[in-house]
Structure 1
Amino acid sequence: MKKITKTKSSKLQFFVRMMWNCNTLVIRASREKTVESLLEQISSKTRIPIQHQRLIYEGKQLTLEQSLCECGIENDANLQLVGRLRSIACPKVWKATQYIVSLILRLCRGELVIGASRIIDDHLTYYINDSEYFSVFMFMEIPSLLVALYMSRYANACVADSVIKDFVRICLDLKDKKLQGVYLEVSLEFCELLRRARCKYDDPLYVFCRDSFSSLLTLVGRVNFQNPKGEVMLRGVFDCVHEIADELLRFLDLSMNCPTGEGFSFNFVLDFVKFSGHLRMGLAEQQATSDEFLNCTIGYEEEPLIAGVVDQLHIVFIKLLSKMDECLQVMEDCLVNKKHGKGDGAVINNGWSHYIIILKVLYHISKLYSGAKEMFWEVLLRQKSMLSHMIVRYSKNTDDHRWVLENRSVTDFECRRHLAMMMFPDLNDESLGYEMLIDRSQLLAESFEYISQANSTSLEGGLFMEFRNEEGTGPGVVREWLVLVCQEIFNPEHALFVACPNDRRRFFPNAGEFRLEFKMHNFTLLHAIQLEYFQCQ
């Protein structure tokens, strides 16, 4: 009975012994996989290039084209991994690289080498386009040596900083996308080595390498995440997403506790958008092969690396969604206090404008998991007023917020109208006019805010005016608003005008508060609107 189960199963588990250090790898693969794909899997674990590996089974060297079934490999088989002799086809590359390794080791010992940065940079620039150089570069562990030099206490650490940045810039400037895809692995290696050395978001070199890794991913385009090296790359992308998400959670807490949201960096939001996009692309490919939601580790028994990413991204999603729920509640409390005149009414939190971007990323992640979209919409339905406020207040014509329209119940009419208006072609400001949404209870304050930010050109096109929670628009609403504002302008409580000491029937504009009245007066003259509001007593 056991024999029948074994022959039916296409899954294998066997052992690969590395002869130079006596370590053993446990490998899981299907019988149909080729020896070449097996070597790629081993390379992703050991960082040893395929061309430097030889697999021996039962005294025979396995060829790349053979499948594991053709090689006769069964469960619990023992294979030997041995290295190849260094290629004699490119002795110049090996010799030059050995010299660079010895130079870096001298710098690590604290020796002073004049022009070390230039020597290493010239070497990298000269050999980086050589097809053999990548394998030599990784085999000699130059990334590890440079990071060790960067973390050393000697003054030579600045050499490593300069060399790593120059190397990454060279990779970004390469014309060959295929070659850029090869060196993508080096960029990830620098990120992982620096992270292991306790470098975080406040380390300039680490941030530079992480940003460059994202830029290389974009330049390379589609990365095949469905092979062993691709799985390692996918894990590397997730590590960046996880790290940035932790930073975002910290700054979201800061945005709730700090009234103005100072310190909430847009760079973290932008990094989260970029890396999560690459990660979603990779997981979407995995989802397409299984045609199911990524709701658990089922389907990834042979790929524990992918299974771990799937589970952990789900945890990141839940944490960020819960934190956004808290932030939107705090935001609502602040706006309510402002409306009732409590606290600092002039406070505008700089972090609020970033919330809508984070929610958009969470929406796209929710599509990968069973039940996640329902959880996402439930939070937005609970925070409907704040979502609508953010879209009306902070969205721009260049933003794509159509995802919100997928569930109409999470937005109000005003928000949906605003989104619909933004879908029209972008026209000249003069033809569109100037759009305002005014709360009657904050008439003068909000009118001052809108008009003070407007330039003369936009006002020449007229006003698209609407009162909050009212559907009426058009010239009649504009006229009503002008009358009400002018009445408020001459309200003695606001002290916008000062009585003439010699003639109580005359008033002079208060020099410090004159901008609003001046623009309003110009607007009425420009559009031939007659207002009888000069009734001073």
Structure 2
Amino acid sequence: MSPPAALACYRRNAKRRRDAPDHALPSSKQPVMTTHSAASSSGAGGSFYASPRSVHFFVRATDSKTIAMHAAWDDTVGAVLDHLAGCGYGRDLRLLYAGRQLLPEATIASLCLPPDSTLHLAARLRSTPHPEAWQLASHIAATAAAAEAAATSTPSHSLDCLVKEYILCASGSRKRGDRDDPVDIMSTRHRAEEYLDIFLQAGAAVALVRLYLSNSSFFRSFAERAIRCFLSTDPVSPMPPAVKPVTAPVLLEFCRLLSVTTGSKDSLYKSCRYTLASVLCEPLSPLTSSKSPARVIEQVLPFAREVVEVVLSGLTSESMMVTRADLEEFSNFFKVLRHQVHRWMPDGPMRKNLYNREHEHSDTWVWELHEMSMNLLRSVDECLKRLEMDLSTLSSESRGVIESQPLWANRLHILAMLTELDLISAIFEDVAHNLRFVLLAHKAPLNALVHSSKRNEHLHWLVKHKDLLCFEARRNLVLMLFSEGKDDYGELHEMLIDRSHLLDESFEYITQARPSELHSGLFMEFKNEEATGPGVLREWFCMVCQALFSPQQVLFSPCPNDQRRFYLNGTSVVDPLHLKYFIFSGRIIGLAVMHKVQVGIVLDRTLFLHLAGRSITLEDIAAADPVTYASCKRILEMGATDIDELTLTFSRDVHTLGSRRTIELCAGGQDISVNIKNREHYIDLLIKNIFVDSISAQLANFAKGFSEILASPDLQKVFFGFLDLEDFDRILGGSNSTINLKDWRSHTQYNGYKEKDRHINWFWKSMTIEQQRQLLFFWTSVKYLPSDGFGGLSSKLYIYKTLESADHLPSSHTCFYRLCLPPYPSLKVMQNQLQKITQEHVSCSFGTW
């Protein structure tokens, strides 16, 4: 009988106790014994009869089975051993109690065993290097047993103190706060592991649970406090770091015992189960790293199944809510299960025939885990259907509002469930197929969930399904790859820039900063100007990018047919600092994206593809080098004779600073002629040489600068994996189309004026198309609107009425999108004043805080 079954029997009252099916023994010197395996025990068995002249006890065997026995007082330890040997446990056995061997000639009566004691069976006498551990663990067990028997109420007050002392001993420190010389972590953990094993062997865990099952609330509370010492919930006495990873066997024992005695609703059991899930995820947990994977899965699966039922109950409820704690516990248990499955079968997803319930050779846990996974997927599918119905009742304008509401944010646990199912899909091939089908069927709620999601590093798996995501969802995913900025100005990287030395000083501030200093965000101001804040920062970004991508810098070249689109200039080597400037350029682009500033420039496809780690083809160079593109297209269209007449070889001539040199596209390229058979290979090598090899150092430094702004440089591939070039254009460049005046007016509010006032009508009539963008920049420091227009800005725009006279120019608070407009006496006066501030050379630096 396993410990849980023994405890279940122990709790039954005397009326329900009946004789268990005993093995009749021929001699009174042979004890009666009944054995049940731990795997089959459920607490439903009967109890054991013990006469006034007999004793009932348990024996923990070497095969992890617990044997329930009762024997006469005059039976000897040797008789017990003989009986165990006859039951197949072998010869040369030893019985241990409280860490000491029991002499074979000793009678049961002479041992003075406490009620329901646990003895340990060993094939040989085991010596222990930790006698103090046996002594203290036995004392804990005896104290709990004495309290349970109501022999005394005095010792129980120190039960939790004894357990805390035992945990401290396991960590190698008697007193909390000791400052001994550092001990090797692994040896300390090994010591702690041995101590906790002794804790179990001495029966301390069983004794504590028995006391917890007491009818006395007084003793029950002391037992609970003692057990909770293993749960790391006490901020005053936290679990030592060396002990926590190895507590899994003890926690597993508590969970087993409590699950069959108190049930899954018991608060202590739920706390033990929650902590068990957390500890099992520790990298060096002995339970998950040493045992066979199948055995670990069988031990963990019953508790995971309970948590899955809790999650399913929440998903199928009216609110579809799952608490954060339940979700975390579910995630931890499934993390352990996935890890063990990968150990059990490391070669990828299982074939369907391996998790068929009817498959005679499949392990039971395989199809049980698959069944739980499919039930979860079905419940998530139903939740997405309900969310889609909610979205279908809203207009397109209202959807953006509902996605930002806290109620919608409370649905993000469904996205977390999808993440878990994606991880499970690496185990079962049909889960991956069905998950894709569910996402395809519910694109609208999927996009709404992703769009409203907050910082979450676990959503990278969605790159496999980016074709199902809208631009707003993809943009949110990549913005979450940057470190979270700080609102406290003391945490920001501060810059004081002289406008007359804008690029040089900006270069120094940005390149000399450590990447970690830039992750918090930027705070800058211009020398001799009072204005500070986000508006000034937006202005700085636009001005720096305008200067950085200017042809005079020889770093980038505009595409012939699109002056906003730039690729790397191979002649940048003329500047000895060009590689540092490319790091600076990459950082500036990354910071602009991080701060959500549209700077009006975009990257050429060849540069974008390099950052994304993708290969460059002929069609990709059309914008950057239309001449080479057209030449290559003609070569592909020529016949064999025409190609031969070109006398091309696998080389190309390069002109730099008035000198000419020949570069071979491959080894011996000058001696290899281009013909109709190898022309495609020639074109591939030519494109690679022009757009990759010849500027490899510049590309590497630009990419380095950009990746340093991400939360981790390793995320660059994920960042560009979510985006197409058109997406990146919209994020970085914004809209270059004519401003929609109707959209502008609809996103403007008034203070001191009314929408139909004559001054407001004059204002909207005063701007020419050429002046609109300059006025917008003066008003907001936004030169290029987001791709979705004024609705993409972080705030409405405001026009405030001031009391200044007509000779005052309008002023702005760019941080708050606020324009301060005096009540000019006529349309002509207003036009003259607006014309002054919309001249490009004066539209900057007018903003105030």
Q: Distance in 2 between matches of 1:144 and 1:57?
A: 25
Q: Distance in 2 between matches of 1:408 and 1:205?
A: 44
Q: What amino acid maps onto 2:143 in structure 1?
A: L
* Counterpart residue number, 1:438: none
Q: Does 1:196 align with 2:196?
A: no
Matched residue SS, 1:21: strand
Q: What amino acid maps onto 2:154 in structure 1?
A: V
- Residue from 345, 354, 361 that aligns with 1:287: 345
The C-alpha deviation readout for 1:213-261, integer Å capped at 9, x for no partner, is 233223343657587665443223323322221111121223xx23xx6
1:233–1:329 CA distance, 2 compared to 1 (3 A): same
* Counterpart residue number, 1:3: none
* Counterpart residue number, 2:461: 403
* Counterpart residue number, 1:487: 746
Matched residue SS, 1:175: coil
* Identity score, percent: 17
- Residue from 147, 155, 159 that aligns with 1:117: 159
Q: Distance in 2 between matches of 1:199 and 1:165?
A: 17
Q: Does 1:331 align with 2:387?
A: yes
The C-alpha deviation readout for 1:311-337, integer Å capped at 9, x for no partner, is 111111111111111111111222232
Quote the offset at 1:362 in angstroms. 0.4
The C-alpha deviation readout for 1:34-68, integer Å capped at 9, x for no partner, is xxxxxx996355599xxxx99899997599xxxxx
Q: Does 1:277 align with 2:335?
A: yes
Q: Distance in 1 between matches of 2:36 and 2:270?
A: 35
For residues 423-438 of structure 1, the aligned pairs below 5 Å read 423=481
Q: What amino acid maps onto 1:316 in structure 2?
A: M
- Residue from 187, 210, 230 that aligns with 2:251: 187
Q: Does 1:316 align with 2:379?
A: no
Q: Do the aligned partners of 1:108 and 1:149 also contact (CA within 8 Å) in 2?
A: yes
* Counterpart residue number, 2:281: 218
1 or 2 for the larger relative contact order (CA 8 Å, sep ≥6)? 1
Quote the offset at 1:517 in angstroms. 6.0
- Residue from 32, 35, 45 that aligns with 1:23: 35
Q: Does 1:415 align with 2:461?
A: no
Q: Do the aligned partners of 1:294 and 1:368 also contact (CA within 8 Å) in 2?
A: no
Quote the offset at 1:475 in angstroms. 5.8
* Counterpart residue number, 2:270: 207
1:59–1:141 CA distance, 2 compared to 1 (3 A): closer
1:354–1:93 CA distance, 2 compared to 1 (3 A): closer
Q: What amino acid maps onto 2:228 in structure 1?
A: K
Q: Do the aligned partners of 1:244 and 1:271 also contact (CA within 8 Å) in 2?
A: yes
Q: Distance in 2 between matches of 1:59 and 1:417?
A: 66
Matched residue SS, 2:380: helix
Q: Does 1:243 align with 2:243?
A: no
The C-alpha deviation readout for 1:115-166, integer Å capped at 9, x for no partner, is 3325533652465458865454323432222122223231111111111121
Q: Distance in 2 between matches of 1:529 and 1:476?
A: 21
Which structure features the higher share of helix residues?
1
1:290–1:252 CA distance, 2 compared to 1 (3 A): closer
Matched residue SS, 1:43: coil
Matched residue SS, 1:112: coil
Q: Distance in 2 between matches of 1:506 and 1:279?
A: 69
Quote the offset at 1:281 in angstroms. 0.4
Q: Distance in 1 between matches of 2:133 and 2:482?
A: 58
How many residues are matched?
A: 435
Q: Does 1:161 align with 2:224?
A: yes
* Counterpart residue number, 2:791: none
- Residue from 186, 190, 201 that aligns with 1:139: 201
Q: Do the aligned partners of 1:489 and 1:517 also contact (CA within 8 Å) in 2?
A: yes
Q: Distance in 1 between matches of 2:238 and 2:361?
A: 30
Matched residue SS, 2:345: helix
Q: What amino acid maps onto 1:484 in structure 2?
A: D
Q: What amino acid maps onto 2:242 in structure 1?
A: K
Q: Do the aligned partners of 1:252 and 1:323 also contact (CA within 8 Å) in 2?
A: yes
Matched residue SS, 1:200: coil
Q: Distance in 1 between matches of 2:257 and 2:740?
A: 62
Q: Distance in 2 between matches of 1:191 and 1:386?
A: 38
1:127–1:373 CA distance, 2 compared to 1 (3 A): same
1:485–1:249 CA distance, 2 compared to 1 (3 A): farther
Q: Identify the range of structure 1 (163-172 vs 356-365) with the bigger mean alpha-carbon deviation.
A: 163-172
Q: Distance in 1 between matches of 2:193 and 2:329?
A: 32
1:386–1:532 CA distance, 2 compared to 1 (3 A): farther
- Residue from 132, 137, 148 that aligns with 1:108: 148
The C-alpha deviation readout for 1:195-227, integer Å capped at 9, x for no partner, is 2223436x4423332232233223343657587
Q: Do the aligned partners of 2:134 and 2:199 also contact (CA within 8 Å) in 1?
A: no
Q: What amino acid maps onto 2:377 in structure 1?
A: L
Q: What amino acid maps onto 1:164 in structure 2?
A: I
Q: Distance in 1 between matches of 2:735 and 2:390?
A: 33
TM-score, normalised relative to structure 2 = 0.42
Q: Do the aligned partners of 1:388 and 1:415 also contact (CA within 8 Å) in 2?
A: yes
Q: Does 1:379 align with 2:441?
A: no
1:421–1:174 CA distance, 2 compared to 1 (3 A): closer
Matched residue SS, 1:349: helix
1:472–1:216 CA distance, 2 compared to 1 (3 A): closer
Q: Distance in 1 between matches of 2:343 and 2:466?
A: 29
Q: What amino acid maps onto 2:207 in structure 1?
A: L
Q: Distance in 1 between matches of 2:90 and 2:734?
A: 89
Quote the offset at 1:174 in angstroms. 5.1
1:194–1:163 CA distance, 2 compared to 1 (3 A): same
Q: Distance in 2 between matches of 1:320 and 1:276?
A: 12
* Counterpart residue number, 1:77: none
- Structure 2, unaligned stretches of length 5 or more? 1-30, 40-59, 69-80, 94-119, 171-190, 494-531, 539-595, 599-725, 761-793, 801-810, 825-849
1:303–1:158 CA distance, 2 compared to 1 (3 A): farther
1:62–1:390 CA distance, 2 compared to 1 (3 A): farther
For residues 58-73 of structure 1, the aligned pairs below 5 Å read none
Q: Do the aligned partners of 1:105 and 1:145 also contact (CA within 8 Å) in 2?
A: yes
1:301–1:227 CA distance, 2 compared to 1 (3 A): farther
* Counterpart residue number, 1:449: none
- Residue from 325, 347, 355 that aligns with 2:414: 355
TM-score, normalised relative to structure 1 = 0.63
1:377–1:485 CA distance, 2 compared to 1 (3 A): same
Q: Does 1:369 align with 2:433?
A: no
Q: What amino acid maps onto 2:335 in structure 1?
A: G
Q: Distance in 2 between matches of 1:176 and 1:498?
A: 67
1:336–1:207 CA distance, 2 compared to 1 (3 A): same
The C-alpha deviation readout for 1:54-98, integer Å capped at 9, x for no partner, is 9899997599xxxxxxxxxxxxxxxxx964577576776555544
Q: Do the aligned partners of 1:225 and 1:282 also contact (CA within 8 Å) in 2?
A: yes
Considering only aligned residues, what root-mean-square deviation do their CA atoms show, in Å?
A: 5.3
Q: What amino acid maps onto 2:423 in structure 1?
A: H
Q: Do the aligned partners of 2:211 and 2:220 also contact (CA within 8 Å) in 1?
A: yes
Q: Do the aligned partners of 1:172 and 1:216 also contact (CA within 8 Å) in 2?
A: no
The C-alpha deviation readout for 1:257-279, integer Å capped at 9, x for no partner, is 23xx6x64112122222221111
Quote the offset at 1:499 in angstroms. 8.2
1:195–1:26 CA distance, 2 compared to 1 (3 A): closer
* Counterpart residue number, 2:315: 252
